[in-house]
Amino acid sequence: MDQSWDNKIKALFNLENKVAVITGGAGALGEGVARGLANFGVKVAVTGRTLTTLEKTVRQVREAGGEAIAIAADMTDEEAVKVVADKVIATWGKVDYLINIAGIAVRHPAEAFDIGDFRKVMDINVTGTFIPCKVFGDVFIKQGFGKIVNTSSVRAFAGHPGGYAAYGTSKGAINLLTKQLATEWAKYNINVNAVAPTIFWTPLTQEVLEDEKLKKIFLDRIPMGRAAMVEDMVGSVVYLCSSAADFITGQIIYIDGGCTAG
């Protein structure tokens, strides 16, 4: 194989001057993915409900030498998401990647689950993923390219004790949404995939991991014997955004230490 082939392989992971929109950009996962992509030369726009928390992510990206902006918006509000798209395109002229991370987890026993809480989880996790996909999918169709990475969970793979009737259901919906959009939009050169992590050490999961009984239930199911770390997710997102994954669409990548292997 000649040098040109070697150079082509090296270029598969060149993300310089790409542009990413990251929902849930103020949380631990959103911040980690923003910083990770920025390290590869990606310009990142982080979005979420609260500007002050988003600005913390932006500062960290900029301090490391990256480019970033913050745009406050509710992902369940289609008009607000359209404004995000307009602002990003006005700033950088395009959008290459949409990374949907925004989401919440509310746990109750199914028989006692407050319907208001159930609807809230479904709205934020499912509608709040679909609307950005719809808005940026339209942008990508007009551009002729784009990649979407949604965030699912191992809770969508099988039932699990701990009160996950709403959260697991919402992530199962995201799995099928990912596959549906992948089949509809493949002809437009749009890749749609999802990452499905096991439990992470983040503020969102602190309550669970500080409960020794629940912690044991979770970790006993993970052959590698630990919770996931933010950096475990970053590598998968980078890969799915890269040209190395150009022929991959409609897939759910489990980041779970072997949890779903058995």
Assess contact for 44 and 37: CB atoms under 8 A: yes
Instruction: Measure the CA–CA gap between 229 and 188, rounded to whole angstroms.
Output: 34
CB contact set of 31 (below 8 Å; sequence gap of 6+): 25, 46, 56, 57, 60, 230
Instruction: Measure the CA–CA gap between 86 and 105, rounded to whole angstroms.
Output: 30
- The residue assigned the tokens 């979770």 is 218
Q: Is 239 a catalytic residue?
A: no
Q: Which of 167, 188, 239, 254 is catalytic?
A: 167
Beta-ladder partners of 194: 150, 252
Going by the DSSP 8-state scheme, the letter that residue 66 receives in this structure is -
Within 10 angstroms of residue 82's Cβ, the number of other Cβ atoms is 17
Q: If DSSP codes are grouped into helix, strand and coil, which group holds residue 132?
A: helix
Q: Is 41 left (phi over 0), alpha (psi -120 to 50) or beta?
A: left
Assess contact for 256 and 198: CB atoms under 8 A: yes
CA 106 to mean position of chain CA atoms: 18
Where do runs of H (alpha helix) occur along 71-164?
Answer: 78-92, 115-122, 128-143
Quote the crossing angle between the two packed helices 165-185 and 115-122, to the nearest 10°.
30
Could you give the residue numbers annotated as active site? 167
